Amino acid sequence: KQVTAFAPATVANVSCGFDILGFAIDELGDRVRINLSDNGELKVKEITGDDGRLPVEVDKNTCSVAIQAMLDALGIKQGMDIHLYKGLPLGSGMGSSAASAAAALVAANELLGKPFEKKDLVPFAMEAERIACGAAHADNVAPSILGGFVLIRGYDPLDVVKLPVPDGLYCTLVHPHLELKTADSRSVLRQRISLKESVVQSGNIAGLIAGLFQSDFELISRSLKDVIAEPSRALLIPGFYELREAIRSIGALGSGISGSGPTIFILSKGKDIALKASQESEKVFEKIGLGVDIYVSEV
């Protein structure tokens, strides 16, 4: 018996929602095929698309770590052979480790006769994030499993809330050919923020969520600001501010760092502006002399 599952790339943080907000990009992602085996062991049998860089050890690979957490919760032993087909680049800020874990869990859950609702898979995927970057954040794994925009209202206990997505909201993802490890871009973050910064950030996250509920693109645009992570992380991403400047005149809603970077996301109302944003991005990075991959997709 075997099952193959796909899980999408994700944009975590979405500027003002550090560690608590993310959305899925359905066109890009990882696939995982799992076969049941009789020997009672989890095995990472095959990985493609990673240039041989991902670990196959079961306690280090995000697929097997997530599945092991799920089997532990069920209190069972079940042999499985895992085949991971990476579609996402590593260290890109597009939720690559999360997509592998999410696809593995969806496939394994299906093979076991669906003992869990999709939402209940999130904590298992978080264990994989802990292994991948040292922090069990859920803002990539939750939208990768559930799709759309997802809010992590709280971590203790975990409280995951699906949010509405306004019609016609498009994302342009600009992936510069650079790698940033999430652990490294977490290490540059300040551990303390001021009362004033916390007020600004709270206003923006509340505004962004109100904007999603009301399909108010102007409000979404005004709220796409981050005073917590972006000021430290943008310094690691060449072209970040130049690109923000370049998309100002074309009517895009705003831009920010996708997850921990270096990918930059741009939100737009309608496909035309999203495509223009992609052209502007090409120009900016051509000037800098850095290669980029660009994807446009409806959220």
Catalytic annotation, residues: 129, 182
- Cβ 293 to ligand HSE shortest distance, Å: 17
CB atoms within 10 A of CB 286: 11
- Cβ 10 to ligand HSE shortest distance, Å: 8
The window from 32-40, 134-142, 161-169, 275-283 that contacts ligand HSE (CB under 6 A) reads 134-142
Question: Is 97 annotated for ligand binding?
Answer: yes
How, if at all, do strands 42-48 and 79-85 pair? parallel
The window from 38-46, 137-145, 196-204, 212-220 that contacts ligand HSE (CB under 6 A) reads 137-145
Nearest to 184 by CA among 262, 249, 243: 262
Out of 140, 144, 223, 263, the residue judged to bind ligand HSE by CB under 6 A: 140
Question: Is 99 annotated for ligand binding?
Answer: yes
Q: In angstroms, rounded to a whole number, what is the distance separating the alpha carbons of residues 227 and 208?
A: 14
Determine, following the binding rule CB under 6 A, whether residue 92 of this chain makes contact with ligand HSE.
no
Nearest CB to ligand HSE, comparing residues 193 and 275:
193
Residue nearest ligand HSE, CB atom distance:
259
CB atoms within 10 A of CB 21: 25
Determine, following the binding rule CB under 6 A, whether residue 8 of this chain makes contact with ligand HSE.
no
Question: Is 135 annotated for ligand binding?
Answer: no
By three-state DSSP, how is residue 195 classified?
helix
CA dist 126 to 65, 71, 120, 196, 215, Å?
Answer: 10, 14, 11, 31, 30
Determine, following the binding rule CB under 6 A, whether residue 12 of this chain makes contact with ligand HSE.
yes
Determine, following the binding rule CB under 6 A, whether residue 61 of this chain makes contact with ligand HSE.
no
Q: In angstroms, rounded to a whole number, what is the distance separating the alpha carbons of residues 151 and 27?
A: 21
Nearest CB to ligand HSE, comparing residues 97 and 109:
97
Q: Using CB under 6 A, which residues numbered 244 to 273 contact ligand HSE?
A: 259-260
Q: Using CB under 6 A, which residues numbered 15 to 44 contact ligand HSE?
A: 18-19
Residue 59, classified by CB atoms within 10 Å of its CB into exposed (0-12), middle (13-18) or buried (19+), is exposed
Instruction: Take residue 271 and report the two structure tokens written for it.
Output: 């496909």
Determine, following the binding rule CB under 6 A, whether residue 182 of this chain makes contact with ligand HSE.
yes
The CB-side HSE value for 49 (13 A sphere, CA atoms) comes to 15
Q: Using CB under 6 A, which residues numbered 218 to 237 contact ligand HSE?
A: 229
Out of 13, 62, 100, 221, the residue judged to bind ligand HSE by CB under 6 A: 13
CA dist 113 to 92, 117, 131, Å?
Answer: 34, 11, 27
Detail the residues annotated as belonging to a binding site for ATP: 89-99
- Which residues are at the interface with ligand HSE (CB under 6 A)? 12-13, 18-19, 93, 95, 137, 139-140, 182, 186, 229, 259-260
